């Protein structure tokens, strides 16, 4: 079965069309990759009047690692341009709380949309592909609801509803991988030495891979949904064809020019 074409929906951040929502709506924590704490609703001191970051090219040296591993999956521009028609919290302070609350939920829904859109690019049976497309449309409608309705959406419930479907997609894709695939769902593999390991078609769903040595490992067609890849060493690893891996996960890891990536992701600038 040929992969179904993904629905049209912008799922990559376009900061030029956003009112700096991630820089003001979300909190910063010194324990989570920021140089100091910042309360939700307070603008980052580096956010300029045109909603641009003054230190964007120096985020890591200045201690803003948390910014480099964050992605709104296009929710920022959607809330700014679609939900609020291009208006912003700075010119109209009365919009602030509504915008921030809507963005906080939309960001999670857009991450779910990313997984569903990716699933539609995979070789699935017609019935399963139709189910994925239907769920994409449903979650997309939730993300496009009026701000108050959007803010009230139970993201946890949506994730629980979508999870089994994504599991079926994963099982379908990995079933086509030759040989026995490894099941590392929820495993604590932090710091484990897995250099040159044959892990094609493995599932690392929800696994801890913090500082795991995966240099030159074969990770083709592996499932990385929800895996913690902070400081994982992916130098020379083959991630081509892996799925449910996001740009924030990749940005949190270490790699090099030899690391082979799936086509939907870009090589982090700090590698």
Q: What is the pLDDT of residues 109-154, one digit of tens each?
A: 999 999 999 999 999 999 999 999 999 999 999 999 999 999 999 9
pLDDT score recorded for residue 4: 62
Looking up tokens 């484990």, which residue turns up? 192
pLDDT score recorded for residue 9: 77
> What predicted TM-score, i.e. pTM, was given to this entire model?
0.93
Q: Does a structural domain hold residue 65?
A: yes
Please tell me the distance from the alpha carbon of residue 11 to that of residue 37, in angstroms, as a whole number. 28
pLDDT score recorded for residue 180: 79
94 and 27 together in one domain:
yes
Q: Is the pLDDT of residue 6 over 80?
A: no
The H or E element spanning position 64 is none
163 and 210 together in one domain:
no
Q: Does a structural domain hold residue 241?
A: yes
Domain, as residue range, for 240? 180-266
Q: Does a structural domain hold residue 70?
A: yes
87 and 27 together in one domain:
yes
Tokens of 254: 């270490």
The confidence band for 220, taking pLDDT boundaries of 50, 70 and 90, is very high
Q: Does a structural domain hold residue 3?
A: no
Q: What is the mean pLDDT of residues 66-77?
A: 95
How many helices, marked H, and strands, marked E, lie in the chain? 8, 0
165 and 233 together in one domain:
no
Among residues 174, 202, 228, which one ends one of the domains? 174
């Amino acid at each position: 079965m040929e992969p179904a074409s993904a629905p049209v929906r912008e799922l990559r951040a376009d900061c030029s069309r956003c009112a700096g929502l991630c820089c003001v709506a979300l909190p910063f924590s010194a324990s989570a990759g920021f140089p100091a704490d910042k309360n939700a609703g307070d603008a980052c001191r580096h956010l300029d009047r045109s909603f641009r970051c003054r230190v964007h090219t120096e985020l890591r040296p200045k201690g803003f690692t948390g910014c480099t591993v964050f992605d709104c999956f296009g929710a920022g521009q959607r809330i700014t341009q679609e939900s609020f028609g291009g208006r912003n919290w700075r010119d109209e302070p009365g919009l602030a709380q509504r915008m921030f609350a809507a963005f906080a939920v939309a960001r999670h829904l857009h991450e779910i949309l990313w997984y569903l859109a990716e699933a539609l690019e995979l070789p699935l049976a017609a019935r399963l592909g139709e189910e994925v497309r239907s769920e994409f449309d449903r979650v997309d409608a939730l993300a496009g609801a009026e701000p108050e309705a959007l803010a009230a959406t139970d993201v946890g419930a949506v994730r629980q509803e979508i999870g089994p479907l994504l599991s079926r997609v994963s099982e379908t894709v990995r079933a086509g991988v030759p040989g026995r695939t490894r099941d590392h769902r929820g495993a604590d593999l932090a710091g484990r030495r897995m250099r040159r390991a044959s892990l094609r078609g493995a599932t690392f769903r929800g696994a801890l891979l913090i500082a795991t040595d995966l240099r030159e490992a074969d990770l083709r067609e592996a499932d990385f949904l929800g895996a913690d890849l902070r400081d994982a060493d992916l130098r020379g690893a083959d991630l081509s064809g892996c799925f449910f891996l996001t740009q924030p996960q990749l940005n949190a890891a270490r790699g090099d020019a030899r690391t082979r990536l799936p086509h939907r992701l870009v090589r982090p600038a700090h590698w």
